[in-house]
Amino acid sequence: LLVTPCVVLIEYVLDRKVLSKQRTVLLVAVCVSVMISSKGALGHSYYGTICALIWVPFAALYKVQWGRVKAVYNCSTLALMRAVLPYSICVQAAMSPLVDPPGILDFAWTWEAVFWIALSGIFAFLVNFSGFLVMGNISALAHVLLGQLKTAIIMIGAAVLFGSKYTPSQLVGAIGAVVAIILYSHVTIKEKKTDSDRDKDDLTIPLVSSSSSKAMKSMNAATTY
């Protein structure tokens, strides 16, 4: 939830991207709906606040920079992942003993456990790959909104299919988030199509210039006379 305004702010500071009034209103509606739908899971602590203040700006900057670097070097998503992720693995490996609970040496490493861990790693790679595709080819904001859409759909599906208990306000918030994100996508596509048509019109070169047109008219008039 907090990453969304950070992404908008960073894109404005770095690239001077400004949202239209319609997209801004819909984005606020998405944030409010997500906040309502997740109010049952909200909590507050000083340690959590400090971690959020550190993590949220870095997460937003990471999403924005991924798309900017991909555009600058004009490379594929897999090539950029190959260049970046090995360093990320080293950082995570160094941090894991500090943040993960102990017990990895006591874990029973059976063949079945190794299989499921490897399978989860493959699916994690595919999830990251799809996310990097969205950040690189569409935008960082689209990646954030897709994550919020996924969460809202999971809540609605869990309530309908599995009878999970949510308050009416949480379900209304989840439905509102889905509707607002769909409308936001519709408005964004419409605006991009309008901008594309305008750019095509600006690039259109007349076959006959105004001066040539005047000369042809004078010649026709002289011929008629």
**182, 180, 140: which is closest to 34 by C-alpha?**
180
Q: Give the C-alpha separation, 99 to 92, whole Å.
A: 10
- Among the listed residues 154, 141, 203, the one whose alpha carbon sits nearest the alpha carbon of residue 3: 141
Please tell me the distance from the alpha carbon of residue 197 to that of residue 116, in angstroms, as a whole number.
50
Q: Residue 202's pLDDT is what?
A: 57
Q: Please report the pLDDT score of residue 191 as a whole number.
A: 87
Pairwise CA distance, residues 95 & 217, whole Å: 78
Q: Within a 10 A sphere around the Cβ of 141, how many other Cβ atoms?
A: 25
What is the pTM for the complete model shown? 0.74
Count of residues in the chain: 225
Mean pLDDT by runs of 10 across the 225 residues of the chain is 88 90 92 84 73 86 88 86 86 79 77 93 91 86 90 92 89 93 90 75 51 52 48
CA 57 distance to own-chain centroid: 15
Q: Which amino acid is at 93?
A: A
Question: What mean pLDDT is reported for the chain?
Answer: 83
pLDDT in tens, 5-58: 999 999 999 988 888 999 999 999 999 998 888 876 666 678 778 888 888 888
